[in-house]
Amino acid sequence: MDVPAKPEVADAKPEDTTKITPPAATVPPANEANAAVPEENKNSAPESTSLPVIPAETVSEETPTEAAKESAPVFKLDSEEQKRAYASGVGMAKNIEDQIAAQKLLHITLDKDILVAGMMDAFNHQQKMSDNDVHNTLSVFDEQIKVLTAAQNDKRLATSNTYIANFSQREGAKKSQKGFYYIVESKGEGSNITDDSTVAIRFKGTLIDGTVVDEPSVQNANQIFRVKNMMPALRDTVKLLHAGGKIQVLIPPSLVEGTVRLEHPVPVNSLLIYSMEVVDVND
């Protein structure tokens, strides 16, 4: 009587009770391709500076950012063309971030994931809205932004005018011929300050809400200026002081543009408030 052949069975290994396999649901679909990669390839280090590939089994609910990294395109930045392309992408993203931040002030919030999906679909010619629908949607959106922005600017101007009116009622408040408002808190002592003087000053420029928009390049340090090179509002008012003098200056919204050199533009109809102290004067 023939005995049936036994099926081939791989050598049994002791059960590894220390290994915890994450549930399948925690592995994003985008990583399924990695599951087919031989183990020896998964553990090998990349030969270039390309983004590393993360094995699917290491991705869990606790590290969602790793899954995002894995789905990102692999590239290098070895040539000038590659750097230009990458820099252009960074610049576009920062512009979009600025727009999103500005829209938040209008109580408009855009879903970043959907925004990026729309961009990728457009690049891949797989957009889920017709060109006509996109045009109509953006036209309505632009009109809403214009209306909300105008209302916000009007409100900011009214707030600025109220602040100026209250400041003007304070003891010692004056208005210069050019339209700047100021209060000399202390005149200081020593020689007069002229356009040709060099001054070391401490200063800070803020919005009404306290947001700092201008200060020395090194925080809490003095900054040295040739008076003739200072912005008009500070150039005219610093000459009212001597060493040790302090002054507060208001720059009305109508005078901000063209007279204030700031690294970043301030919102339309903003009032600027400067506090300035003269630490030293050299003729």
For every residue of 6-54, DSSP letters joined together read PPP-PPP----TT--PPPGGGS-GGGGGGGGS-HHHHTSPPSSSSPPPP
Indicate the pLDDT class of residue 156, thresholds 50, 70 and 90: very high
Give, in order, the Cα–Cα distances in Å from 278 to each of 192, 202, 245. Answer: 12, 7, 5
Kindly indicate the confidence band of residue 136, based on its pLDDT and cuts at 50, 70 and 90.
very high
Percentage of the chain exceeding pLDDT 90: 53
Say how far apart CA 210 and CA 192 lie, in whole Å.
Answer: 31
| Cβ pair 279, 202 in contact under 8 A | yes
Does 181 have pLDDT greater than 90? yes
Cα gap 106→156, rounded to integer Å: 13
Please report which confidence band the pLDDT of residue 102 belongs to, taking 50, 70 and 90 as the band edges: confident
Residues 272/207, Cβ–Cβ less than 8 Å? yes
5-23 core/surface letters (b: 16 or more CB in 10 A; e: else): eeeeeeeeeeeeeeeeeee
Q: What pLDDT is attached to residue 72?
A: 61
**Can you list the positions of beta strands (E) in 30-123?**
none
Report pLDDT for 1.
43
Q: Which residue has the higher pLDDT, 80 or 258?
A: 80
Confidence at residue 213, expressed as pLDDT on a 0 to 100 scale = 87
The pLDDT of residue 33 is: 40
Q: 76 vs 187, which has greater pLDDT?
A: 187
Domains in the chain with CATH codes: 24-71 (no CATH), 80-149 (1.10.287.460), 171-282 (3.10.50.40)
**pTM attached to this predicted model:** 0.63
Flag the least confident range among 55-64, 89-98, 139-148: 55-64
Place of tokens 């797989």: 126
5 has a pLDDT exceeding 70? no
* Burial of 231 (C-beta count, 10 Å sphere; 0-12/13-18/19+): middle
What mean pLDDT, rounded, does the chain reach?
79
- In 3D space, the residue among 268, 2, 273 whose CA is nearest the CA of residue 152 turns out to be 268
Beta bridge pairs of residue 201: 223, 278
Mean pLDDT of 182-194: 94
pLDDT of residue 6: 45
Among 151, 160, 148, CA closest to 104: 148
- State percent of the chain over pLDDT 70: 72
Query: Which residue from 225, 226, 270 is spatially nearest to 250, judged by alpha carbons?
Result: 270
The predicted structure's pLDDT at residue 161: 96
Looking at residue 17, its pLDDT comes to 41
Residue 206's pLDDT band (boundaries 50, 70, 90)? Answer: very high
